[in-house]
Amino acid sequence: MNAKNLDLKPYITEAQLQEKIKSIGADLTKKFQGKKVVAVCVLKGSFLFYSDLIREINTDITCEFFGVSSYHGGTTSSGEVKVTLDLANPIEGQHVILIEDIVDTGLTMNYLIKSMESRKPASVTTVTLLEKPEALKVPCKLDHVGFKITNEFVVGYGLDYQGYYRNLPYIAQVQNFQ
Ligand code: 5GP
């Protein structure tokens, strides 16, 4: 399969994405009113969602980036999480908003929550743009979910296939996997 030749079916439009992001941002603004938070972007997939979402959270925010890789370029989760970039600063005593692109088996989110909690933050709030409930293998604490989707592979708006399609402004389902 050539990564650049996928048959894509538009699934979640730009307008739907932005409307949902405004609503999650409003919820988080209410929750953290008057408090300082550190927003953790899980790289690479959540970078577009993260940059749109933090602009909808109206409180004092600092930004941290945490790189993990779990798919190794394929389309099924390996279950192994490799840290590619650690946080640059301590988060001890701070309110953390952990921002992910998609929860599939839940293994990555579980790993991320454990990794954040081991650093003794005041709290960890999890946000994921997408969740595939049918694919969940481990229980996962998800505080804010943008869209629950069926168990199909999606690309766009930060999500890739073999590194491509992250720049698509909407989410699409891939039609032509055998
Ligand atoms: P989990 O550990 O929950 O199985 O997998 C989470 C990670 O797998 C996500 O951060 C994302 O990188 C990748 N992933 C899971 N489902 C999809 C999908 O449908 N499309 C893409 N592009 N990546 C996915």
pLDDT in tens, 45-65: 999 999 999 999 999 999 999
| Å from CA of 102 to ligand 1 middle | 6
Q: Residue 53 and residue 34: Cα distance in Å, rounded?
A: 18
Structural domain includes residue 140: yes
Nearest CA to ligand 1 atom 13: 71
Q: How is residue 163 written in tokens? A: 């590194």
Active site includes 104?
A: yes
pLDDT of residue 80: 77
Q: Which residues line ligand 1 (CB under 6 A)?
A: 45, 70-71, 77, 100-109, 153-155, 159-161
Q: Answer for the pair 145, 125: CB distance below 8 angstroms, yes or no.
A: no
- What is the tens place of the pLDDT at every residue in 97-114? 999 999 999 999 999 999
pLDDT of residue 5: 81
What is the percentage of the chain residues whose pLDDT exceeds 70? Answer: 92
Structural domain includes residue 1: no
Q: Domain of 89?
A: 6-10+12-27+35-71+79-176
43: nearest Cα among 8, 85, 1, 11: 85
Q: How is residue 129 written in tokens? A: 């743009």
Ligand 1 atom closest to the Cα of residue 81 is 2
| CATH number (domain holding residue 139) | 3.40.50.2020
Q: Residue 163 and residue 4: Cα distance in Å, rounded?
A: 10
CA dihedral 76, 77, 78, 81 (to 10 degrees): 150
* Average pLDDT of the residues of the chain: 93
Structural domain includes residue 168: yes
Q: Answer for the pair 145, 98: CB distance below 8 angstroms, yes or no.
A: no
| Å from CA of 160 to ligand 1 middle | 9
Structural domain includes residue 98: yes
Nearest CA to ligand 1 atom 4: 105
Using CB atoms within 10 A of its CB, is residue 82 exposed (0-12), middle (13-18) or buried (19+)?
Answer: exposed
Q: Answer for the pair 145, 131: CB distance below 8 angstroms, yes or no.
A: yes
